[in-house]
Chains A and B, each alone.
Chain A
């Protein structure tokens, strides 16, 4: 009976289908060492997101990323600029919601459709036709980013397309929550209307700090402060809602299935 169900791949060594997650950068080294030993047996994933790399035995290739604490995380790349009220149907058209990113093939498919709901007049396209990933790893947006549906396909498709972080003026709450829960993109908030001062294709760097962050636009030479992550911080630090709940003792460590 269970065999007919597409299961999400295990996040551990047996799983080969998960791409590296942006969240590997967020885990503090202290947390990694305390959680990796006693809590999680080998066959069970640590958290709800694609954080396979945070478990030491699986992270040989990404240890340098994993050793960064939340405060020292950086993202660097080209930015894609959007304005206000980009709703979930523009991020991922509703008819693509039948894609169930349980395997790499469908994950590629949903990634290739990221932001395909933007009007045809919007240029350049976020993902070039025929491509799976976008060349823009950072999205800069205006107000109320991600309004509309509660479907997680929205942050998932962005992450699948290679987006590491979003810097928006404000977020719609469900999208923000889903971004944190899935670990697909790091949702940051700017203090000013950065989307009016950046252009798609600008090279930017984001540096996260305990008290907020810094967005540097290398093309314009300007810098912008980012807000502290606030209440979401402890959950992101822990590695997602499941890891957070285990850390807080709300749910027991999983037993071997």
Chain B
């Protein structure tokens, strides 16, 4: 059920790999598969030509990719191949205020009013989407989740009751994907599902993480299992020293611009290489966050000392990292020399509408938005502040700052920005004329109720550190959203035009 017909995926188009179904599932026989058009966009410049994978059959034990290994272990099998439909044990299920009521409603309908969730310690409920609003239905959803959590004894419920002052709520965190990481729920080798498309963010920790709908979530609530089809893996090897003006957001926009918004549909995007190894956890999260914007099922990064250091500081739950075998099969290989890349944006109205930031310098903008799971983490604000401090100027357009979580908000006010003489982000933002950092939540990334802070209510042009720019994404249908890195967003705020951050960074 979790599958497109195999023949619609470029996977079949590129390789002769036969996928053998294990168990009950029946795959379309090769004679039924009509292999048709491959990807419509041609591959450009910096990548090595794609290799097709060798044909495999179930009887030959082949190497497995990271994702295949994680899913095999979670399905208690010794081996899986792409295309297998398997029942997988879930380690963590996350839901939030928008989808939680629906998911729990389905759970009760299917398992009974008195049913109990499969494990009240493996469910994390994080209100974050429509929080600071007077919309009654949005408020109702948080209340509904409170009741469910109380009834089911859910251990992790990051509740909010005082909407007037987020700091007055001891449990409230903010944006779910950032909170999951900060609270130690992301661990290598595990299976994490969430009722949100950007659940793929957690793949940065070397785990399988993907978004699901309410019905699937209702099923998981009752059983702790989900039916999944093993995805093939596309490998992205990024090497070279990261230029000082480039961020992970530029990398992922580069990649999505290369393969298109459907370039990774049903596939895993595995990121490795020396550049990846040099990235912090938050930058790795940004990279994996937008995997869904390429259609990807999940993103994954091999865990290393950076990962273990982050995770072990936040949880004592043991974990078991896995890595792709040397002889694993990948359905595509892309290589990037990062040292040659430049800051990019995604122009309206698609995340794959890539352009060099410097080539958009004539685009006049009306506002800048820095926030969301993609670009509202501590390091994102640090980067923006660093650029603003280096420039020493005032912003020319309203610049909205929405820290993703309470912790990020506190960091913005407490942590000194390196090289700024002890000043905090908040001080630098104030001196530059930005709006005061607001209460942490998803905010206007997805528009939201009419009274959402920084919502695009007019047909304006906005440079944003968020993840999608389809028509109407931030509110107004004629609004024009340029997706960008925090550096590019800050630079653009200073000029009132889309601006390459090298204008202000050495």
Contacts and interface: CB of A to CB of B under 8 A. Distances in A.
Are these two chains actual partners, yes or no?
yes
Given A90-B471, A228-B5, A144 B295 contact: yes
Interface in B7-62: 7-8, 24-28, 32, 34, 36
B449 A90 contact: no
B214 to A, nearest CB: 5
B195 interface: yes
Contacts of A5: 101, 104-105, 108, 144, 147-148
Contact of A152 (B25, B141, B214, B223): B214
Contact of B215 (A117, A120, A176, A182): A182
B225 A173 contact: no
B235 interface: no
A176 B295 CA distance: 12
Contacts of B144: 4-6
A99 to B, nearest CB: 7
Given A119-B477, A254-B110, A1 B151 contact: yes
A45 B106 CA distance: 11
Interface stretch (A58-66, A128-136, A159-167, A245-253): A245-253
A141 to B, nearest CB: 13
B110 A227 contact: no
Interface residues of A, number: 74
B466 interface: no
Interface string A32-62: 0000000000001100110000000000000
Given A147-B295, A174-B212, A89 B470 contact: yes
A178 interface: yes
Contacts, number: 236
With most chain A CB atoms within 10 A of its CB, the pick from B2, B150, B213, B477 is B213
A245 B470 contact: no
Interface in B121-165: 129-130, 135, 137-138, 140-141, 143-144, 147-148, 150-151
B87 A250 contact: yes
B265 A174 contact: no
A14 interface: no
A120 B111 CA distance: 43
A147 to B, nearest CB: 6
A100 B137 contact: yes
Interface string B221-234: 01101010100000
B215 A250 contact: no
Contacts of B4: 170-171, 173, 176, 189, 230
Contacts of B140: 98
A109 B450 CA distance: 17
Interface string A197-235: 000000000000001100000000000000111111111
Contact of A233 (B8, B26, B115): B26
Interface string B75-113: 000000000010100000000001101101110111111
A90 to B, nearest CB: 6
A8 B5 CA distance: 31
B350 interface: yes
A104 interface: no
B215 A227 contact: no
Contacts of B229: 231
Nearest to A180: B1
Given A5-B148, A98-B138, A100-B137, A151 B32 contact: no
B407 to A, nearest CB: 25
Nearest to A246: B110
B147 A48 contact: no
Contacts of A1: 147, 150-151
Contacts of B101: 5-6, 100
Central interface residue in B4, B130, B151, by most chain A CB within 10 Å: B4
Q: Pick the most buried of A147, A242, A251: most chain B CB atoms within 10 A of its CB.
A: A147
A7 B27 contact: no
Nearest to A247: B24
Contacts of A172: 262, 265, 295
14 contacts: A5-B148, A89-B470, A95-B130, A100-B102, A100-B105, A120-B478, A147-B295, A149-B446, A150-B197, A151-B195, A173-B295, A177-B216, A230-B6, A231-B27
Given A44-B110, A150-B212, 17 more contacts: A45-B109, A48-B218, A87-B470, A94-B473, A117-B471, A147-B261, A150-B199, A171-B4, A173-B3, A173-B295, A174-B197, A174-B211, A177-B216, A227-B8, A230-B3, A231-B2, A233-B26
Interface of B: 1-8, 24-28, 32, 34, 36, 85, 87, 98-99, 101-102, 104-106, 108-115, 129-130, 135, 137-138, 140-141, 143-144, 147-148, 150-151, 195-197, 199, 211-216, 218-219, 222-223, 225, 227, 229, 261-262, 265-266, 292, 295, 297, 350, 446-450, 468, 470-473, 477-478
Interface of A: 1-2, 4-8, 10-11, 44-45, 48-49, 85, 87, 89-90, 93-95, 97-100, 102, 117-120, 143-144, 147-152, 170-174, 176-178, 180-182, 189, 191, 211-212, 227-236, 240-242, 244-245, 248, 250-251, 254-257
